[in-house]
């Protein structure tokens, strides 16, 4: 596959992922307010779950065949563009700047806990589906 | 309603930059440890800090929506990734390499927080107008 096509496919996936992140962020802020970054936590949880499940389901031992380009579209494009480490970092800094070190620590702990638990859960569920 | 346009465009460019840069780093340093994703997230955290200081009250571009949508939500959001960080940490843990898995977590969170703080501090030095 030409490198240009790969770039284009990843760009389209990232654009769609980024737009979904923007929409989910607006929805989360409308539902739960902006006092605590629940939106980013949830976005990173969902994206981690999807990449964990998809990687195992379409991997070498997976039951679903997806072309290398298709895998890059979903994993590098969609999931990569949807999830974010920069918003997580900035929102933690903002909590610290507003004199809320406990909320900042909670944001770090919950983001890591949910993100890592979600990628593992996605992997385990896909592993069972592969059997 | 230009917001989706800026967010989509920024995310596309950010995602392609992430693919190019993390691939370059992986080819240079190897893939035993996810240096590519780590360096992507650190540099993206620095830039979002810089931009956040610029659009803050008293910053260089206070309240600028295009910077927020194109640079912060689009470029930085599309460039950095939590899903690759999670997947690569899981891969290290599944391979039994707990020191590297833990190192990736500590380095990602610690260095990205330092980077966003440094970016914000630098951005706050740029005068208004």
Provide, as residue numbers in chain A, all residues whose Cβ is less than 8 Å from the Cβ of B11.
14-15, 17-19, 21, 81
Q: How many CB atoms lie within 10 A of CB A113?
A: 12
What is the pLDDT, as a whole number, of residue B129?
64
Nearest-by-Cβ selection for B18 from A52, A80, A90? A80
Q: Give this prediction's pTM.
A: 0.97
Provide the shortest C-alpha distance from residue B27 to chain A (in Å).
Answer: 15
Provide, as residue numbers in chain B, all residues whose Cβ is less than 8 Å from the Cβ of A12.
12
Q: How far is CA A100 from the centre of its chain?
A: 25
pLDDT digits (tens, 9 = 90+) for A75-129: 999 999 999 999 999 999 999 999 999 999 999 999 999 999 999 999 999 999 9
What is the mean predicted confidence (pLDDT) over B51-57? 97
Distance CA A36, CA A103 (A): 7
Asked if residue A23 lies in contact with residue A42, where contact means CB atoms within 8 angstroms, the answer is: no
pLDDT digits (tens, 9 = 90+) for A15-41: 999 999 999 999 999 999 999 999 999
Asked if residue A81 lies in contact with residue A16, where contact means CB atoms within 8 angstroms, the answer is: yes
pLDDT digits (tens, 9 = 90+) for A46-69: 999 999 999 999 999 999 999 999
Asked if residue A34 lies in contact with residue A107, where contact means CB atoms within 8 angstroms, the answer is: no
* pLDDT of B34 higher than 90: yes
What is the pLDDT, as a whole number, of residue A2?
83
* pLDDT of B128 higher than 80: no
Asked if residue A62 lies in contact with residue B94, where contact means CB atoms within 8 angstroms, the answer is: no
Mean pLDDT over each residue of chain B, to the nearest integer: 96
Q: How confident is the model at residue B89 (pLDDT cuts 50, 70, 90)?
A: very high
* pLDDT of B94 higher than 70: yes
Structure-block tokens of residue B3: 């917001």
* pLDDT of B56 higher than 70: yes
Q: How far is CA B117 from the centre of its chain?
A: 13
* pLDDT of A1 higher than 80: no
Chain B interface disruption, residue of A89, A114, A125, A126, most B CBs within 10 A:
A89
Residues 6+ apart with CB under 8 A from B30: none
Terminal Cα-to-Cα distance of chain B (whole angstroms): 25
Question: Any CB–CB contact under 8 A between A37 and chain B?
Answer: no
Q: Which of B128, B7, B1, B115 is nearest to B67 (CA)?
A: B7
* pLDDT of B31 higher than 80: yes
What is the pLDDT, as a whole number, of residue B127?
83
Provide, as residue numbers in chain A, all residues whose Cβ is less than 8 Å from the Cβ of B76.
84, 86-87
Structure-block tokens of residue A74: 């979903």
Structure-block tokens of residue A100: 């809320």
Does ipTM top 0.95? yes
């Amino acid at each position: 596959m030409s490198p240009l096509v790969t770039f284009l496919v990843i760009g389209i996936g990232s654009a769609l992922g980024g737009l979904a992140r923007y929409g989910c962020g607006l929805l989360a802020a409308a539902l739960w307010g902006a006092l605590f970054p629940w939106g980013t936590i949830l976005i990173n949880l969902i994206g981690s779950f999807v990449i964990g499940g998809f990687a195992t389901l379409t991997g070498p031992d997976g039951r679903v065949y997806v072309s290398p380009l298709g895998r890059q579209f979903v994993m590098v494009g969609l999931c990569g563009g949807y999830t974010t480490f920069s918003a997580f970092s900035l929102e933690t800094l903002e909590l610290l700047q507003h004199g809320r070190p406990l909320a900042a620590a909670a944001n770090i702990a919950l983001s890591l806990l949910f993100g890592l638990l979600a990628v593992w859960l996605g992997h385990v569920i896909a592993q069972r589906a592969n059997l | 309603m230009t917001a989706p346009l800026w967010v989509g465009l920024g995310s596309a460019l950010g995602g392609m930059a992430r693919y190019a840069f993390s691939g370059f780093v992986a080819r240079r340093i190897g893939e035993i440890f996810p240096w590519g994703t780590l360096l992507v997230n650190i540099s993206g955290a620095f830039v979002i800090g810089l931009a956040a200081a610029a659009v803050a009250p008293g910053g260089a571009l206070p309240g600028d929506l295009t910077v927020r949508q194109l640079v912060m939500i689009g470029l930085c959001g599309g460039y950095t990734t939590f899903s690759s960080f999670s997947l690569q940490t899981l891969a290290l843990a599944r391979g039994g390499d707990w020191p590297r898995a833990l190192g990736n977590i500590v380095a990602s969170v610690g260095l990205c927080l330092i980077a966003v703080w440094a970016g914000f501090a630098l951005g706050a030095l740029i005068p208004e107008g």
